Chains A and B, each alone.
Chain A
Amino acid sequence: MGNLFLASLIDGLLIGFVYGIAAMGLSLIWGVMDVINLAHAPLMALGMFGVYLLFSSIGLNPYLALILIALIGLIGGVAIYYIAIHRVLSAPPLSTLLATYAVNMIMIGLGTAAFSTTPRNVNFTLGSIGSGDLTVQSTRLVAAVVATVVTGGLYFFLYRTRPGKNIRAVANNRAAAELMGIPSSRVLALSFGLGTLLAAVSGGLIATFFPFTILAGNAYQLKSFVIVVMGGLGNPLGALAGGLILGVMEGLIPIILPNSWVPVLEFILFVIILLVRPTGLFGAKK
């Protein structure tokens, strides 16, 4: 029992890191421009398919593929921003929700036509570490390490570099930032690109240990909502903490209740946090 508990806890924590960076992408975009990105799901799915295609066609190591996918995600996100978001940024919130949902529909439509909805998996393994009940798949361990490195990189970028500081300034007060000479629309585009990058990378990491379809992103997008609200909308580090909490919940709840009760508890917790502490457990921006 003790070993089972420990193994579930570790599994949950490791998954939690990956959930965390997926949610961080959503949280960053929300924090900087008050947009809930409903295109998060297909972006994660494209990250999954990116790893899958690069691995199965040219045999590229999934972790090297991630670098390429991150780059494509960044550029793609900037493009999405200029095409779909920029015009409606100051319109009522429904407009940005619908604009990102339209992007979602376009991508899912094309993705379904190209890849169909049959499940795929990346046939890649690194073996496992530990023995007996206490074994951990190495791909999950590496994924958690990559997620930590990505988080560290994001924080270094936001706090130590000029473009990162610009992003924080625009998030804090767009008008004031513009008066200080910060090109706000370029900064917003960069933030959307970074959010997309995080979505794609987290999708790519998930693909190394779970099977997936083009629609697989939806479940993770919903989880990301829960995590972002737990961590506080617009607080990226809170998102990582929220991801760990959710991962641990998913690891531990099945010990006492059937697996299918996990989402019930997750979403009830989600609604309660929204009602009682809408700024999240760790405080939102402002």
Chain B
Amino acid sequence: MKQLKNIGLWVSLLAVIVLGIGPIVSRSPSLRESIFIILQVIVLAASLNILLGFTGYVSFGHVVFFGLGGYVGLYLISVQNWPLWSAALAGGLTSGLLAFLLGKAILRLRGAYFALATIGINEAVRAFVNNFDPFGGPIGMTLNFKVYSNYGGAANALWMTYYVILALALLAVILNFVIKNSKFGLGLMAIREDEDAAEVMGVVTPDAKTWAFVLSAILPGIIGALFFFKNGNIEPGDAFRLDYSIEMLVIVMLGGQGSVLGPILGAAGYEGLRDFLLTSPLFKNIQLSVAGALLLVIVLFIPAGAVGWLRKRVPILRKVLA
């Protein structure tokens, strides 16, 4: 249990707790909603980090797991009357299963070909769901408001999903940390640096990559079910938004890919910035452009992200920032 003494893990967990405790103390629903979004982004970004940061594979269509989890979850809740918890779990497992089935095939592709294949899969699933009547086709599905009474009313249900997402964010951080410090994680990082060399050194690369893909798909699936339960309805356009996928890439990149703290910093920074831009009278209309310009500056000048930059500039922080 030497790893429990690692300050980096505690710093990351503390960051999530500090962020998540605000709404619990103030009981303010509006604060809860904005923190919910940040926590959701942390989970999604941290999951993507397993594949992108550790393994070096750029998945452009990762939102497919979020959307699929949402669809399976909402279908089970509204049509089969499952309770939220088992439905969310089923959503996560379905996403994991899809990743497992796809993994062996598309992870053979490297670099840009893999990125393109993930876009193709997201679009194929979106177009398919659009035609799939049990999931409501292009209209999607809407939860009957009565569903919330099983959870002590809508207000109560919203608080409950908040606690769950906070727990999931902590879980995602721990998962990142455990993978990063395990033999499995070392194998992934070897793949990132040089896949052929890793294979020669005895890493079973197809298996390692597939499991990384599966691990990065399960939590987004659970989050998808949770988010669309809270939202009350789901449509193909909302569930499989390619833009959202790319936002996650940007966030991992902002925070620093391959680090545990990176996705947390990236999520808080990106969402904070967006709130500021959307509400500022000066930038409101061109917020997308300002965000794009900032992204460009970061890609061009700080490619290692916030955590990478800090570790390089301030040596003392190397121990603290996992």
Is B292 within 8 A of A106, CB to CB?
yes
Residue of chain A at shortest CB distance from B288: A109
B246 within 8 A of A: yes
* CA gap between A191 and B33 in the complex, in Å: 47
Choose from B111, B127, B295 the contact partner of A98 (Cβ within 8 Å).
Answer: B295
Type the 1/0 row for A31-72, where 1 means its CB is closer than 8 Å to any CB of B: 000101010000000000000000000000000000000000
Known A88-B299, A97-B58: A105·B131 in contact at CB below 8 Å = no
Residue B287 interfacial (CB < 8 Å): yes
Chain B, interface SS category: helix
Q: Which of A134-142, A150-158, A256-264 lies on the face that meets chain B?
A: A256-264
Proximity bits, A249-285, B CB within 8 Å = 1, else 0: 0000000001011011011101100110010000000
- In the assembled complex, B109 has its CB within 8 A of some CB on chain A: yes
- In the bound assembly, the distance between CA atoms of A166 and B193 in angstroms comes to 33
Q: Is the CB of A102 within 8 A of B131?
A: no
The segment from A4-12, A173-181, A196-204, A222-230 that touches chain B is: A222-230
Q: Given A99-B300, A261-B131, decide whether A229 and B116 contact each other with a Cβ distance below 8 A.
A: yes
Asked if A112 is an interface residue, CB under 8 A from chain B, the answer is yes
Q: Counting CB contacts under 8 A, is B105 at the interface?
A: yes
Answer whether residue A145 sits at the interface, using C-beta atoms and an 8 A cutoff.
no
Say whether B115 contacts A97, CB under 8 Å: yes
Tell me if B208 counts as interface (CB < 8 A to partner A).
Answer: no
- Which residue in chain B gives the minimum CB-CB distance to A112? B288
- In the complex, the answer to whether A225 meets B120 with C-beta atoms within 8 Å is yes
- Please give, as numbers and ranges, the residues of chain A lying within 8 Å of B7 by CB-CB distance: none
A88:B295 contact, CB within 8 angstroms: no
Contacts of B52 in A (CB 8 A): 94
CB proximity to B under 8 Å, residues A111-147: 112-113
Asked whether any CB of chain A lies closer than 8 Å to the CB of B97, the reply is no
What size tier do the contact residues of chain B reach? 35 or more
> Is B121 interfacial (CB-CB < 8 Å)?
yes
Indicate if the CB atoms of A274 and B106 lie closer than 8 Å: yes
Shortest C-beta distance, B295 to chain A (Å), equals 4
Determine the chain A residues whose CB is within 8 A of the CB of B242 once the complex forms: 218
Taking CB atoms, residues of chain B closer than 8 Å to A266 are 127
Q: Does A149 reach chain B (CB closer than 8 Å)?
A: no
The answer to whether A264 and B127 touch across the interface, beta carbons within 8 angstroms, is: yes
Interface membership of A103, Cβ < 8 A: yes
B141 at the interface (CB under 8 A from A): no
A106-B121 CB under 8 A given contacts A260-B127, A278-B113:
no
**CB-CB < 8 A to A30: which residues of B?**
112
Taking a contact as CB atoms under 8 Å apart, the answer to whether A226 and B120 are in contact is yes
Mark out the residues of chain B between 44 and 67 whose CB falls within 8 Å of any chain A CB in the assembled complex.
Answer: 52, 56, 58, 60
Do A101 and B246 have beta carbons less than 8 Å apart? yes
Most chain-B CB neighbours within 10 Å: which of A98, A110, A229, A260?
A: A98
Q: How far is the CA of A278 from the CA of B117 in the complex (A)?
A: 10
Within 8 A of B (CB), among A61-102: 83-84, 87-88, 91-95, 97-99, 101-102
Contact digits for B17-56, partner A, Cβ 8 Å, 1 yes 0 no: 0000000000000000000000000000000000010001
B232 to A: closest C-beta gap in Å = 25
Which residues of chain B from 102 to 124 have a CB within 8 Å of any chain A CB?
Answer: 105-106, 108-109, 111-113, 115-117, 119-121, 123-124
Chain B residues lying within 8 Å of A104, measured Cβ to Cβ, are 292
For the complex, give the distance between the alpha carbons of A103 and B109 in Å.
26
Knowing A271-B106, A275-B109, A278-B109, say if A106 contacts B131 (CB, 8 Å): no
Report whether B131 and A268 are in contact in the complex, using a CB–CB cutoff of 8 Å.
no
Q: Which residue of A lies closest to B129 (CB)?
A: A264
For residue A14, CB closer than 8 A to chain B, the reply is: no
| B181 on the A face (CB < 8 A) | no
A108 on interface, CB distance cutoff 8 Å: yes
Interface centre among A92, A261, A271 (most CB of B within 10 A): A271
Task: Please measure, in the bound complex, the distance between the C-alpha atom of A38 and the C-alpha atom of B105, giving whole angstroms.
Answer: 25
With A93-B58, A108-B288: A270-B120 Cβ-Cβ less than 8 Å: yes
Is there a chain A Cβ closer than 8 Å to B11's Cβ? no
Contacts A225-B119, A267-B123 given; indicate if A274 touches B113 (C-beta within 8 A): yes
Q: In whole angstroms, what is the CA distance A88 to B123 when docked?
A: 28
Indicate the member of A92, A102, A225 with the most B CB atoms within 10 Å.
A102
Q: Which residue of A lies closest to B192 (CB)?
A: A92
**Given A109-B287, A275-B105: A267 touches B299 (CB 8 Å cut-off):** no
The closest CB in chain B to the CB of A39 belongs to B292
**Given A84-B300, A97-B115; A105-B120 close (CB under 8 Å):** no
Contact A110–B131 (Cβ < 8 Å): no
* Distance between B119 CB and nearest chain A CB, rounded to angstroms: 6
Q: Is the CB of A274 within 8 A of B116?
A: yes
Q: Specify the chain A residue showing the minimal Cβ separation from B52.
A: A94
Cβ contacts under 8 Å, A274 to chain B:
106, 109, 113, 116-117, 120
B235 to chain A, nearest CB (A): 14
**A-B pairs with lowest CB-CB distance, top 4:** A105-B292, A109-B289, A109-B288, A267-B124
Q: Can you identify 10 A-B contacts, CB atoms within 8 angstroms?
A: A87-B300, A94-B58, A99-B299, A102-B292, A102-B299, A106-B292, A258-B131, A260-B127, A264-B127, A267-B127
Spell out B's residues near A (CB within 8 Å): 52, 56, 58, 60, 105-106, 108-109, 111-113, 115-117, 119-121, 123-124, 127-128, 130-131, 138, 242, 246, 249-250, 253, 257, 285-293, 295-296, 299-300, 303
Could you list 4 further interchain pairs (A-B, Cβ under 8 angstroms) beyond the known A101-B250, A106-B296, A225-B119? A91-B303, A97-B112, A97-B249, A109-B288
